[in-house]
Chain A
Amino acid sequence: MKGIYSDKRNTGISLVGEVPWGTSLCQFYQTPEDLVEILVPFLLAGLKDNELCVWVTNGKIGEEEVRQALEKALPNFKKYRKNRQLEIISYPRWKIKGETPGKIIIAETDEAIFKGFEGLRIIFSSLPQWKGRKVFLSPVEAAIKAGRNVLAVFAYPRDDFDARGIMEVVQKHQCALIRNADRWEVIQSSQARIAQDALKRSEEKLSSLFRHMAEGFAYHRIVLDENGMPCDYVFLEVNSAFERLVGLKAEKIIGKRVTQVLPGIEKDSTDWIGKYGQVALTGKPLNFESYSEVLKRWYSVSAFSPHRGFFAVTISDISDKKSHEDELLQAKTEWERTFNSVPDLIALLDTQHRVIRANKAMASRLGVTPDQCVGLHCFEVVHGFKSPPGFCPHRLTCQDGFEHVAEVHEPRLGGYFMVSTTPIFNDQGQLIGSTHVARDITDRKRAEDNLRQRTAELEIANKELESFSYTVSHDLRAPLRSLDGFSQAILEDYADKLDAQGKEWFNNIRASSQKMAELIDDILGLSKVSRVELRIQPVNLSDLAWSIIKELKQTQPERLVDFIIAPGLETSGDINLLRIALTNLLGNAFKFTARCQKARIEFGLTELEGQPYYFIKDNGAGFDMAYSGKLFKAFQRLHSGEEYPGTGIGLATVQRIIQRHGGQIQARGEVGRGAIFYFSLNQAGL
């Protein structure tokens, strides 16, 4: 994997340039100055690039000389030492550091990584003859093989090797630096060259893939806290897809910690750092889908560790997919909630009358859970039959593919139901069942029964009232006729035997009889306007008023009354009842203006509280508004019979007629200044 992440390291040696992690170089030197000339720039490059740099000294150039050489070349020398990025150690001391000598470089590299460095840059200078070299060469080779970020330079004294010896040493390294006259030359081992070429080609391929892949790719180094627990990670390399998906530019994040780049990520409900830490430390790959609260997106993540302490991730944005899934889930939840909250009993039935699905209302009526309904035969579980009953609308829907409705009485479910079955078709248009909705109409049925019973009772009561009225009208009048008739007979036949007083009293009997007959007629009229069936037809109230006025004038032709009737008052209603109403209202106006000098009676259309009202207005006796509540009550009178004759039933009758037309009536008046009666007829759309 190396190289793809641009983990090429600057050697600081211009002849060599950049090399990948896992490179071991060698130098053949003759003087201590040779060592300083090559190794100091090498170390400085490492320090600059955040690598842990270790110089293992031996023989000709010791710890002190190295320290002095570096101090001279490096202004920040003390800082690096203080930060423990730079270590100068003698070979004998270094040798006893590791418990397992073969893995000492691996251990040291890992430690460097966990301390937050990119890797380990190590120098072995003034190495002894070939024989002893294995002691430090093998651990480096083992670390390179294990994929650790290690870069090593071995410095051999030139004079200790013959030409063959030099070539043998070169073969063990990727390249060798050797001084020829006063120039440094690079000798590359043939094997290293072949391997490098192959690597280069493969790198190019991978690099292209890396650049062009649709998934985001990022390579990171994990950062551990003092307890060795993952606490952060550093971006090392990202591809453009990653930049796009995460919305962060490479140059802004490379080399930076994620807690700097995405502050708050450590508080995200997904423990990104912990998850990645596990991958980087255990080497076990991890695939997961997670929501990033910081980025507000859903990601599908594959994380793996190419070598300990490092991890790579490929990510794709699945927010759209997730939101689609969420929508689906929400739609499903909503649908189920609705389905289960409908009070109607709903079941989806297949063509074999089996329940595919039932809602809560259905299931609870059957005393089971919705799941327990599935697969049961509807006719069995609901009606207790062995086959679908004759009234079953689902059977009809299965036969003809149309909706059917039936009213079903099912004592097992405790009531009456209005059952409808709506066919369900599959995508091919085949009938696969029906939606069976049963609405409990028991209450409605009961209400209907009650209504029917009350209507019947009312009809009987009405009949009784009719026959009572008939009796009243016929039988109550007969004695009155006798009282009147015999009084008259006495007045005629025994006139000579009666004085004026006697005659007057017989006349009183006659007048009373007639008054009572009038009362009977009015009561019957009132009960009649309540009972009679309305016959609605167009009515011209203006014409009707004039015809009534004509009759009124004939009763007292001597009176001069100014009638003002608005023309064209068209409405609809029962003309007979409206005639009675207008006769009463106009009759009253006529009656109560009897003592007026200039009687004036108006009939027209006006507005009252925004509603259209008819009005009949006179300038007659009027009435005291304090008693207006009594106006429309039967037998209640605001004037004495001697002042103005009447039975006190007229306005009660009028009100009954107006109410039967869906209208309202009210009156305003003032004693001695007239009265206005307002009425509406909603029946007529007024």
Chain B
Amino acid sequence: MDNKTILIVDDNKNDVFLTQRALKKSNIANEIVVAGDGVEALDYLLGRGKYTGRDLRRMPVVTLLDLKMPRLDGLEVLKTMRENPLTKPLPVVVLTASKEEADIVESYKLGTNAYVRKPVDFLQFAEAIKHLGLFWMVLNEPPPSQFNG
């Protein structure tokens, strides 16, 4: 488990904090990388910008992707990820406040693996994060390609 990274892409620092707290409370102690917007997320995933030279063999076991963000939004990140062979197989969970049908439909069209709405009630939120963590970190077998050197 120690070499499994979780990428959280969210511009809201409080949400990031609460997500991390929820993960921790669920005893998921994986390395967490936080990207403040879509640009930063792609920089990390593709080894660009401040992540230039990063070991691209280490890819997040799951990316928790917010949709509404400055500069580059979640749907654009998802689209770029699915177009790039390097990131194409990576599991993505859209984690957002929106429950607009259009957003859900578009996310699945672009190839998200799951869509989870952030509840306001922290206990419910923590419960959701716990389930997500368990599923993606424990139960799910990640695609082998990301370990290929």
Mark A residues whose CB is within 8 Å of B. 469-470, 473-475, 477-478, 480-482, 484-489, 510, 513-514, 517, 521
- Let me know if B97 and A473 touch, CB within 8 A: yes
A437–B119 alpha-carbon span in the complex (Å): 67
A116–B111 alpha-carbon span in the complex (Å): 126
- Let me know if B97 and A478 touch, CB within 8 A: yes
- Min C-beta distance of A484 to chain B, whole Å: 5
A121–B62 alpha-carbon span in the complex (Å): 149
A477–B67 alpha-carbon span in the complex (Å): 14
Please give 18 more A-B residue pairs, beta carbons under 8 A apart, in addition to A473-B97, A485-B17, A485-B125: A470-B98, A473-B98, A473-B100, A474-B68, A474-B96, A475-B68, A478-B12, A478-B14, A481-B14, A482-B14, A485-B18, A485-B21, A486-B14, A487-B122, A489-B21, A510-B121, A510-B122, A517-B121
- Min C-beta distance of A122 to chain B, whole Å: 128
Closest to A477 in B: B97
- Let me know if A474 and B98 touch, CB within 8 A: yes
Chain B interface, number of residues (Cβ within 8 angstroms): 20
- Min C-beta distance of B123 to chain A, whole Å: 7
Closest to B100 in A: A470
A473–B98 alpha-carbon span in the complex (Å): 6
- Let me know if A484 and B121 touch, CB within 8 A: yes
A482–B122 alpha-carbon span in the complex (Å): 8
If the complex has contacts A474-B68, A489-B21, are A481 and B120 also in contact, measured as CB distance less than 8 A?
Answer: yes
**Interface majority SS (helix, strand, loop, mixed), chain B:** loop
A140–B2 alpha-carbon span in the complex (Å): 165
B131 interfacial by beta-carbon distance below 8 Å: no
Closest to B21 in A: A489
**Interface majority SS (helix, strand, loop, mixed), chain A:** helix
B15 interfacial by beta-carbon distance below 8 Å: yes
Q: Which residues of A contact B17 (CB under 8 A)?
A: 485
Interface string of B71-109 (1 = CB under 8 A from A): 000000000000000000000000011111000000000
- Min C-beta distance of B65 to chain A, whole Å: 14
- Min C-beta distance of B8 to chain A, whole Å: 15
- Picked from A475, A478, A482, A488, the residue with its CB within 8 Å of the CB of B123 is A488
- Min C-beta distance of B20 to chain A, whole Å: 11
Which 9 residue pairs of A and B lie closest in terms of their CB atoms, listed nearest first?
A517-B120, A485-B122, A482-B14, A485-B18, A488-B122, A477-B97, A474-B97, A480-B120, A474-B68
User: Which residue of A469, A470, A478, A513 has the most chain B CB atoms within 10 A of its CB atom?
Assistant: A478
Closest to A471 in B: B68
A478–B17 alpha-carbon span in the complex (Å): 12
- Min C-beta distance of B98 to chain A, whole Å: 5
- Picked from B12, B96, B100, B120, the residue with its CB within 8 Å of the CB of A513 is B120
- Min C-beta distance of B64 to chain A, whole Å: 14
Q: Which residues of A contact B98 (CB under 8 A)?
A: 470, 473-474
- Let me know if B14 and A485 touch, CB within 8 A: yes
Closest to A478 in B: B12
Closest to A532 in B: B101
A selection of 15 A-B contacts at a CB cut-off of 8 Å is: A470-B98, A473-B97, A473-B99, A473-B100, A474-B67, A477-B120, A478-B12, A478-B15, A480-B120, A481-B15, A481-B97, A486-B18, A488-B122, A514-B120, A521-B99
A488–B96 alpha-carbon span in the complex (Å): 20
A487–B68 alpha-carbon span in the complex (Å): 25
- Let me know if B125 and A481 touch, CB within 8 A: yes
- Let me know if A484 and B120 touch, CB within 8 A: yes
A474–B122 alpha-carbon span in the complex (Å): 16
- Min C-beta distance of A507 to chain B, whole Å: 12
If the complex has contacts A482-B15, A482-B18, A486-B14, are A477 and B118 also in contact, measured as CB distance less than 8 A?
Answer: yes
A574–B80 alpha-carbon span in the complex (Å): 36
- Min C-beta distance of B118 to chain A, whole Å: 6
